């Protein structure tokens, strides 16, 4: 009996049986756009090898007007079919199955040719769409059908018709974006005609033995979204039209509710999918913030769905399923839902990867496998950079010793994990510990390495990290002035706090200071915080009361010298969430200040060159002014003429994050 009987149970679809209940959800990686199909093939084949039941590709446009951005991947020409065929062959050879997502972006398409049911611009796009006429709608449907037929020719096991997230099909479903008065608008029967026609005509064209997944928006999280009665009506209609599986979509891209960020509790939306169970006879998939096999197993055991979609977790670890099935779940690289190397890259037009697994989408560039010559390797520091280089080097067959001055591994991540909404980082540290042990690394905790300890190793790697930087403000040595490290280590803090610095850590510390709870937020509290309601009671699932968070635990003023909006440089897909949360918590965010001095009463600032002095009363002042590299040992080695590699924060402290640290560590280890 395995530990995950529901998750690892096969799913019989009639004409084909999936080997387990794990769907790798669609992710736009920008890999296809590189034109390097060797890389595309390696990415998907590697995940097929890891045992996932079914994969869905990133969105493939049915036509040029529906492409997410000009030049986005489509399946327009015979040459495209040949390319895709190479990939599906690679997936099948690795024992996997794959469906192609057909994504028509509608008014979200980033270009002037975008089309939509009505000429209503989205709040997140600069382009106003053209309202499509009835002939145009017929063309779009025909293009979906052609795309599905080509997908079948290209060897796919099926298609996913993207009907959620506020894209083209979704736009027809709700009055917010569909103001038509012809047979494609008006009452719900007319508004849902488009998806039903698409599914039915695709089914007719591809025959009975081809998977059609319909991705259905079960909670739109926008005003005037669908009701749950409409969701059920649509689900039944697409089932009757020939869909094989219904997948869950959560929230439109323009929704002001986070849906996948790390602060969203695990499995926060499975209750929505569960409401649909029993209304249709075909399998239903649930989604969003399911990142561990234990969570997926519980979701299935509770009857929330027949199958679980995980996208980013399969970037983080292609072996998610095989590790779950072989008693190695503790070694699954955890998706911490940070978006830093995946969605933030996608939206910046960069290739997707993964913070915890830099090999993702770089499979051909950072190959796995053993080194030709076994070496002895010393690593100083067991933060993200040190652990990454140590584990990767040990997996390549080297004999690795890690010296860590603290009592545990993780470095700066041990501060991050104390931040409310970043509870996933606990699992990140635990995974680092488990990986070091499994790779056979000789880990020496509570050991501050000296230069003498490092002689005799073939390779020495300094990953000694960073230390908080002083702000250089008069009065900084007063007892009520704390570093972020002291605060996040549990130092007592008064009711009124001034936070100096508004980078990622200033935001994290402010969130810590205004939040009063132990452990992860409950789903009920999180829903109240963001104003999420039940779509059975309120259109789109928005609580008519709006967000109603807990009262802030403290009065916090967060400051920076730059005159720009605070948080402007935070992650593209998550920065708005941090800003919105601090707004909800009434944090006073002030830019354009200069710091005059710290006094026992608080912080004295001046606004602008000619501004008058102003006291911000504070019981404590917390310094979050960035970091400096810790590289004494590297300097000592250099003085002795001993060569070493320097990585992570010890290398460059500026804008250090775990993504850069881990990437540098893994890439270095791959060369040893
Ligand atoms: P940071 O992003 O460099 O921010 C430092 C802050 O301190 C800035 O607001 C800066 O603003 C201020 N500052 C700099 N020098 C100062 C001085 N001498 N006196 C007073 N203020 C000063 O550093 P961080 O916040 O420590 O973050 C470090 C790294 O961790 C960053 O790369 C960050 O991206 C990463 N991180 C990421 C996350 C995440 O959620 N992804 C969370 C935490 C940290 P002014 O110069 O305008 O005053
Ligand atoms: Fe998950 Fe972050 Fe990796 Fe994206 S970059 S897959 S969110 S761990």
Give the pLDDT score at 69: 86
- Atom index in ligand 2 nearest the CA of residue 355 equals 5
Of 205, 203, 204, 275, residue with least CA distance to 245: 203
Query: How is 381-392 classified by DSSP, letter by letter?
Result: --SHHHHHHHHH
CB 235 within 8 A of CB 213: no
End-to-end CA distance of the chain: 41
Q: What are phi and psi of 403, to 5 degrees?
A: -105, 125
Q: Take residue 565 and report the two structure tokens written for it.
A: 């909006």
Residue 364 falls inside a structural domain: no
CA nearest ligand 1 atom 4, residue:
503
Q: Take residue 232 and report the two structure tokens written for it.
A: 């059920």
Judge whether residue 602 has pLDDT over 80.
yes
CA distances 253 to 189, 220, 431, 667, Å, are 24, 9, 32, 34
Residue 590 falls inside a structural domain: yes
CB 528 within 8 A of CB 549: yes
Residue 540 falls inside a structural domain: no
| Best mutation site among 420, 503, 574, 648 for ligand 1 pocket (most ligand atoms within 8 Å of CB) | 503
The catalytic position among 156, 167, 415, 512 is: 167
pLDDT (mean) for 208-219:
98
Strands 158-163, 211-219: pairing kind: parallel
pLDDT (mean) for 341-355:
93
CA nearest ligand 1 atom 16, residue:
625
Mean pLDDT for the chain overall: 95
Rounded CA separation 326/306 (Å): 22
| Best mutation site among 43, 264, 291, 336 for ligand 2 pocket (most ligand atoms within 8 Å of CB) | 336
Residue 6 falls inside a structural domain: no
Shared-domain flag, residues 614 and 633 = no
Nearest ligand (C-alpha, residue 605): 1
Kindly state if the Cβ of 500 falls inside 6 Å of ligand 1: yes
pLDDT (mean) for 36-47:
95
Kindly indicate the confidence band of residue 1, based on its pLDDT and cuts at 50, 70 and 90. low
Q: pTM value?
A: 0.95
What value, to the nearest 5°, has the Cα angle with vertex 206 and ends 205 and 212? 115
**What distance in angstroms lies between residue 570's CA and the mean position of ligand 1's atoms?**
10
Shared-domain flag, residues 141 and 129 = yes
Nearest ligand (C-alpha, residue 473): 1
Kindly state if the Cβ of 656 falls inside 6 Å of ligand 1: yes
Of 68, 17, 73, 26, residue with least CA distance to 47: 26
Shared-domain flag, residues 129 and 265 = yes
Nearest ligand (C-alpha, residue 422): 1
Q: What are phi and psi of 516, to 5 degrees?
A: -125, 85
Of 25, 565, 655, residue with least CA distance to 340: 655
Q: What are phi and psi of 391, to 5 degrees?
A: -65, -45
- Atom index in ligand 1 nearest the CA of residue 506 equals 25
CA nearest ligand 1 atom 23, residue:
626
Q: Tell me which of 31-45, 127-141, 293-307 is least confident.
A: 31-45
DSSP state of 32: G
Rounded CA separation 130/168 (Å): 12
Shared-domain flag, residues 424 and 563 = no
Judge whether residue 398 has pLDDT over 90.
yes
Judge whether residue 610 has pLDDT over 80.
no
pLDDT (mean) for 589-609:
93
Shared-domain flag, residues 201 and 326 = yes
pLDDT tens digits, 612-671? 899 999 999 999 999 999 999 999 999 999 999 999 999 988 777 899 999 999 999 999
71: left (phi over 0), alpha (psi -120 to 50) or beta: left
Query: Within a 10 A sphere around the Cβ of 139, how many other Cβ atoms?
Result: 16
Judge whether residue 592 has pLDDT over 90.
yes
**What distance in angstroms lies between residue 355's CA and the mean position of ligand 2's atoms?**
6
Shared-domain flag, residues 254 and 191 = yes
CB 562 within 8 A of CB 592: yes
Shared-domain flag, residues 140 and 275 = yes
Task: Look up the CATH number of the domain holding residue 619.
Answer: 3.50.50.60
Kindly state if the Cβ of 561 falls inside 6 Å of ligand 1: yes
Q: How many helices (H) and strands (E) does the chain have?
A: 21, 27
- 346 half-sphere exposure, CB direction, 13 A CA radius: 20
Rounded CA separation 387/435 (Å): 9
Instruction: Please indicate whether residue 167 is annotated as part of the active site.
Output: yes
| Best mutation site among 338, 353, 504 for ligand 2 pocket (most ligand atoms within 8 Å of CB) | 338
Give the pLDDT score at 580: 96
Query: How is 144-170 classified by DSSP, letter by letter?
Result: HHHHHHHHHHTT-SEEEEEE-TTSHHH
Kindly state if the Cβ of 503 falls inside 6 Å of ligand 1: yes
Task: Look up the CATH number of the domain holding residue 645.
Answer: 3.40.50.720
**What distance in angstroms lies between residue 24's CA and the mean position of ligand 1's atoms?**
35
Q: What are phi and psi of 528, to 5 degrees?
A: -65, -40
Show which of 625, 647, 663 is a domain's final residue.
Answer: 625
pLDDT tens digits, 406-450? 999 999 999 999 999 999 999 999 999 999 999 999 999 999 999
Residue 440 falls inside a structural domain: yes
Judge whether residue 76 has pLDDT over 90.
no
Kindly state if the Cβ of 546 falls inside 6 Å of ligand 1: no
Rounded CA separation 363/350 (Å): 16
Kindly state if the Cβ of 307 falls inside 6 Å of ligand 1: no
Query: How is 429-473 classified by DSSP, letter by letter?
Result: HHHHHHHHHHTT-EEETT----GGGGTT-SEEEE---EEEPP---
Nearest ligand (C-alpha, residue 29): 2
pLDDT tens digits, 545-584? 999 999 999 999 999 999 999 999 999 899 999 999 999 9
| Best mutation site among 312, 314, 574, 658 for ligand 2 pocket (most ligand atoms within 8 Å of CB) | 312
Residue 531 falls inside a structural domain: no
Q: What percent of the chain has pLDDT over 90?
A: 92
Shared-domain flag, residues 556 and 619 = yes
Of 355, 335, 360, residue with least CA distance to 344: 355
Q: What are phi and psi of 281, to 5 degrees?
A: -95, -15
- Atom index in ligand 2 nearest the CA of residue 343 equals 4
Q: Residue 435: which domain range?
A: 376-467+629-671
CA distances 360 to 5, 7, 32, 95, 149, Å, are 28, 24, 14, 19, 30
Shared-domain flag, residues 180 and 329 = yes
Ligand 2: residues whose CB is within 6 Å?
Answer: 312, 315-316, 335-342, 354-356
Shared-domain flag, residues 156 and 245 = yes
Kindly state if the Cβ of 657 falls inside 6 Å of ligand 1: yes
Shared-domain flag, residues 280 and 417 = no
Kindly state if the Cβ of 564 falls inside 6 Å of ligand 1: no
Nearest ligand (C-alpha, residue 653): 1
**Where do we find the tokens 């931040």?**
419
CA nearest ligand 1 atom 40, residue:
504
Judge whether residue 8 has pLDDT over 90.
yes
Residue 75 falls inside a structural domain: yes
Residue 367 falls inside a structural domain: no
**What distance in angstroms lies between residue 661's CA and the mean position of ligand 2's atoms?**
14
CA nearest ligand 2 atom 8, residue:
335
Shared-domain flag, residues 299 and 158 = yes
CB 155 within 8 A of CB 84: yes
Give the pLDDT score at 75: 84
Q: Take residue 391 and report the two structure tokens written for it.
A: 């584990």
With H, G, I as helix, E, B as strand and everything else as coil, classify residue 328: coil
Kindly state if the Cβ of 655 falls inside 6 Å of ligand 1: yes
Of 429, 446, 457, residue with least CA distance to 645: 457
Number of separate domains in the chain? 3
């Amino acid at each position: 009996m395995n530990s995950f009987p529901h998750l690892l149970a096969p799913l019989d679809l009639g004409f084909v049986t999936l080997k387990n209940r794990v769907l790798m959800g669609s992710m736009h990686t920008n890999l296809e756009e590189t034109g390097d199909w060797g890389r595309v093939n390696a990415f998907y084949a590697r995940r097929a090898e890891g045992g996932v039941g079914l994969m869905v590709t990133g969105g493939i446009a049915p036509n040029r007007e529906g492409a997410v951005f000009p030049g986005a991947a489509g399946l327009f020409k015979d040459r495209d079919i040949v390319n895709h065929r190479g990939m599906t062959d690679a997936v099948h050879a690795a024992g996997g199955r794959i469906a192609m997502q057909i994504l028509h972006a509608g008014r979200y398409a980033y270009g002037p040719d975008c089309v939509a049911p009505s000429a209503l611009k989205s709040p997140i796009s600069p382009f106003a769409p053209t309202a499509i006429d009835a002939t145009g709608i017929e063309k779009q449907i025909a293009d979906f059908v052609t795309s599905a037929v080509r997908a079948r020719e290209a060897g796919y096991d099926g298609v996913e018709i993207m009907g959620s997230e506020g894209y083209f099909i979704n736009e027809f479903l709700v009055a917010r974006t569909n103001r038509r008065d012809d047979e494609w608008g008006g009452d719900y029967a007319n508004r849902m005609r488009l998806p039903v026609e698409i599914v039915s005509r695709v089914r007719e064209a591809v025959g009975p033995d081809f998977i059609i997944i319909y991705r259905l928006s079960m909670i739109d999280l926008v005003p005037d979204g669908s009701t749950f009665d409409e969701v059920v009506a649509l689900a039944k209609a697409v089932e009757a039209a020939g869909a094989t599986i219904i997948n869950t979509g959560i929230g439109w891209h323009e929704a002001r509710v986070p849906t996948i960020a790390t602060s969203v509790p695990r499995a926060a939306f499975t209750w929505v999918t569960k409401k649909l169970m029993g209304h249709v006879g075909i399998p239903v998939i649930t989604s969003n913030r399911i990142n561990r096999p234990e969570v997926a197993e519980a979701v299935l055991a509770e009857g929330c769905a027949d199958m679980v979609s995980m996208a980013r977790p399969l970037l983080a670890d292609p072996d998610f399923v095989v590790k779950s099935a072989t008693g190695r779940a503790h070694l699954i690289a955890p998706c911490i839902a940070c978006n830093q190397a995946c969605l933030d890259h996608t939206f910046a037009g960069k290739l997707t990867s993964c913070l915890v697994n830099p090999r993702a989408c770089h499979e051909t560039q950072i190959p796995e496998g053993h080194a030709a010559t076994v070496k002895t390797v010393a690593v100083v520091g067991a933060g993200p950079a040190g652990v990454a280089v140590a584990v990767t080097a040990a997996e390549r067959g080297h004999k690795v010793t890690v010296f860590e001055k603290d009592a545990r591994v993780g470095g700066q991540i041990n501060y991050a994990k104390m931040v409310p909404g970043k509870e996933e980082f606990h699992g990140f540290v635990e995974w680092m510990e488990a990986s070091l042990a499994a790779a056979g690394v000789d880990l020496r905790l509570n050991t501050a390495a000296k230069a003498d300890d490092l002689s005799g190793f073939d390779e020495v790697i300094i990953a000694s990290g960073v230390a908080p930087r002083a702000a250089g403000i008069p009065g900084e040595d007063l007892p009520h002035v704390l570093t972020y490290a002291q605060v996040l280590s549990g130092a007592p803090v008064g009711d009124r706090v001034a936070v100096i610095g508004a980078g990622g850590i200033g935001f994290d510390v402010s969130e810590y200071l205004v939040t009063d709870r132990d452990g992860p937020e409950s789903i009920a509290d999180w829903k109240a915080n963001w104003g999420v309601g039940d779509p059975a009671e309120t259109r789109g699932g928005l609580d008519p009361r709006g967000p109603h968070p807990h009262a802030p635990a403290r009065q916090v003023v967060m400051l920076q010298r730059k005159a720009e909006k605070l948080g402007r440089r935070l992650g593209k897909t998550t920065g708005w969430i941090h800003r919105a949360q601090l707004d909800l918590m009434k944090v006073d965010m002030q830019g354009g200040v200069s710091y005059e001095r710290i006094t026992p009463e608080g912080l004295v600032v001046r606004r602008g060159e000619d501004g008058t002095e102003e006291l911000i009363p504070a019981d404590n002042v917390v310094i979050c002014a960035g970091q400096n590299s810790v590289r004494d040992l590297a300097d000592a080695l250099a003085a002795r003429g001993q060569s070493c590699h320097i990585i992570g924060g010890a290398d460059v402290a500026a804008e250090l994050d775990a993504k850069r640290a881990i990437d540098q560590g893994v890439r270095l280890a791959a060369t040893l």
